[in-house]
Amino acid sequence: MAPGQEQGGSHWWPTFGVMLGALTVSLNIGVLNVAIPSMMSSLSADLDRIQWVQNGYQIIQAVLIPAVGWLGARFGTKRLFILATLVFIVGSALCGLAWDVHSLIFFRILQGIGGGPITPLGMSILYSTFPPDKRGLAMGLYNFSFSFGPAIAPALGGHLIEVLSWRAIFYINVPVGLLSAGIVLFTMARTQDQRARSFDAVGVFTMASFLILLLLAVSEGRRYGWGSQLILTLFITAGTSLVAFVVTELKTKQPFVEIRLYKNLPFAMGCLIGFLNTVEFRGTSFLLPIMLQRIYHYTPFQAGLFFLPPALVMGTTSILAGRLSDKIQPKLLLAFGLVILTYVSFQFCTLDIWATTGVLLGLIVLRRGAQAFCHSPLTSSTLRGVPEDQVRMASGLFSLHRTLAGAVGVALTATLMDYREDVHRLIFSERQALYPLGTAVATDAIRGVLIEAGDRDGILVQKITGVLHQQLSEAAALAGYHDLFFMFAALTLFSLVPVLLMRDSKPVLPPKVVKEE
């Protein structure tokens, strides 16, 4: 079967199998944050060590993602997907059996070796399996699986940890992963892939060096300081490795990563939009739960449940947006999503501490719906002009941009949040000194409330000071959130520029059918 050829309804079972695999990976990423405190307590690990449970997985995943082009040609797309899923399952089971933090980190790296290829491979499989007039729907279904996992992760993870233990979040991957691999094994037709290229050792080394050093710098920047000698050295060395990688791949007849794909303008612009959009998506996904808990005093469990409806809306809207992109120019849907995202970010800039649950939920639902109109049409329009025999390689590069953007988005958001909150705290403290009458009025009001509650002079002064400090901190934090949402609004608005540069393109068919694996 040639890539993209439809055989009746036979593509639906492989689609279901691939979606299960994507769901397993996305669920694993989302549920880990809930389990970190339990892991630290159980394994007697500090925060500096436990963070490598996430960093190790993220780094090895980023290295494997762009390698799917070469690996797929070596093993075949179907075999590689099944192999990656099995490695992910084994790594998950071993993570559940980890006896200390070091073994957990090692097994998470093993898990990342399997999880890395699943994302771009799944995208490539669905894109090639569906006929050209339904590929938007295929990308919508794929994005739904990645939205549903994070949607149920906080609630499911919290329940498993409370009833069983943190180890259960890894064990649950085993049956779902086995089901995914089994469905793909028995229902997916044998793929037709190019013959394996020669191994480009220099390209692999320089690519891995660039990705590892870059992610190390991004993940450790807040800890050591972005201007520290260590972080600057990592960035400079990563940049040098990137230059060496590009030069090597351009001179090699059979490169490990086909970076000449960036000559395709729609693909290059799609990768740029994907990077910017993912910075916004991961940044706001990191920021919003913290804002709900700090400013509006939600419990962690309440905050987790709060994001369930928006994530489900995003998942279902992804399918709708994907199907619409088969009938309407994808870049029009993408521009629509970016405009709505910009509007919602500006609305977040106007929130105060009295915002109701209905207002917050409505804005977040609208935000997630708009992001769905960005993700599915963007994926289909980015891959549409890529030759069929290079879709797997293109999927890997596109996924790599989003993986790197996720790390940058979280690190950038956390750093700017700390900085802007400190700035506003200083400004508000100066205002208190300049306008003591307002502070005196607030102090009298707080004193009256505390006295009515039964507090006496012994601890009254300390409580008044504590309440004032809390109010100052919350006001500074809210102002910092306003600054960041303004930055996100500017980012999404700027993303409209490469959208306008994207040319409409038709699917490019392979020049010839190659031999079956």
Q: How confident is the model at residue 339 (pLDDT cuts 50, 70, 90)?
A: very high
Closest by CA to 31, choosing from 114, 106, 111, is: 111
3-class secondary structure per residue, 149-169: HHHHHHHHHHHHHHHCCCCHH
C-alpha 395/C-alpha 383 separation (Å) is 8
pLDDT, one tens digit per residue, over 449-499 is 555 555 555 565 555 555 556 666 777 888 888 999 999 999 999 988 888
Rounded CA separation 158/170 (Å) = 13
With a cut of 60, say whether residue 502 has pLDDT above it.
Answer: yes
The residue-averaged pLDDT of 216-232 equals: 82
pLDDT attached to residue 71: 76
Q: Do 330 and 476 have their domain in common? A: yes
Number of domains in the chain: 3
> 72-81, 85-94, 115-124, 376-385: which has the highest mean pLDDT?
85-94
Do 178 and 222 fall within a single domain?
Answer: no
DSSP string, 92-122: HHHHHT--SHHHHHHHHHHHHHHHHHHHHHH
- Please give the pLDDT value at position 10: 67
Which residue matches tokens 């400004």? Answer: 427
Average pLDDT over residues 183-209: 74
Q: Specify the pLDDT at position 468.
A: 58
Per-residue pLDDT tens over the stretch 164-178: 888 888 888 888 889
- pLDDT exceeds 70 at position 514: no
Terminal Cα-to-Cα distance of the chain (whole angstroms): 11
Question: Which three-class secondary structure state does DSSP give residue 291?
Answer: helix
In whole angstroms, what is the distance from residue 29 CA to residue 59 CA?
13
Q: Are residues 109 and 203 in the same domain?
A: no
Let me know whether 187 and 219 are in one domain. Answer: no
Q: Which of 147, 163, 197 is the last residue of a domain?
A: 197
Tell me whether residue 312 is in a domain.
yes
One domain, residues 343 and 432: yes
Is pLDDT above 60 for 439?
Answer: no
Does position 197 have pLDDT exceeding 80, yes or no?
A: no
Where does 351-435 have alpha helices with state H?
Answer: 357-384, 391-434
pTM higher than the cut 0.85 = no
Residue 1 pLDDT > 70: no
pLDDT in tens, 14-61: 888 888 888 888 877 767 767 777 777 777 777 667 777 777 887 888
Same structural domain, 290 and 318: yes
Q: Spell out the alpha helix ranges (H) of 197-264.
A: 201-224, 229-251
CA count, 13 A, side-chain hemisphere, 59: 23
> HSE of 333 in the Cβ direction (CA atoms, 13 Å)?
29
pLDDT at 3: 43
DSSP string across 22-86: HHHHHHHHHHHHHHHHHHHHHHT--HHHHHHHHHHHHHHHHHHGGGHHHHHHHH-HHHHHHHHHH
| pLDDT tens, position by position, 291-324 | 887 788 887 667 777 878 888 888 888 888 888 8
Long-range CB contact pairs, 353-356, < 8 A, 24+: 353/295, 353/296, 353/474, 353/475, 353/478, 355/296
Has residue 517 been placed in a domain? no
In a domain, 29, yes or no: yes
**Same domain assignment for residues 150 and 290:** no
Beta partners for 508? 387
Mean pLDDT of the chain: 78
* pLDDT at 343 > cutoff 90: yes
Least confident of 108-112, 165-169, 425-429: 425-429
Q: Are 491 and 279 in contact (CB under 8 A)?
A: yes
Q: What is the pLDDT of residue 53?
A: 78
Residue 437 has pLDDT above 60, yes or no: no
| 90 confidence band (pLDDT: 50, 70, 90) | very high
To 10 degrees, the CA torsion angle through 290, 292, 293, 296?
A: 140
**Distance (Å, whole) CA 336 – CA 334:** 5
pLDDT at 516: 39
Question: Residue 56: CB partners within 8 Å, gap ≥ 6?
Answer: 105, 106, 108, 109, 112
Q: Which of 10, 23, 319 is nearest to 179 (CA)?
A: 23
Across 185-202, average pLDDT:
69
Handedness of CA 390, 387, 315, 357 (dihedral sign): positive
Confidence at residue 489, expressed as pLDDT on a 0 to 100 scale: 92
Are 364 and 490 members of one domain?
Answer: yes
Residue 48 vs residue 432, higher pLDDT: 48
Predicted pLDDT at 507: 53
Whether residues 279 and 402 share a domain: the answer is yes
| Of 150, 174, 197, the domain-final residue | 197
pLDDT category, 446, cuts 50, 70, 90?
Answer: low
Task: Provide the CATH number for the domain around residue 104.
Answer: 1.20.1250.20
For the beta carbon of residue 352, count every other beta carbon within 10 angstroms.
9
Residue 499, domain extent = 262-508
Q: Return d(Cα 326, Cα 59) in angstroms, integer.
A: 35
Q: Which two tokens stand for residue 465?
A: 């000071």
Q: 63 in a domain, yes or no?
A: yes
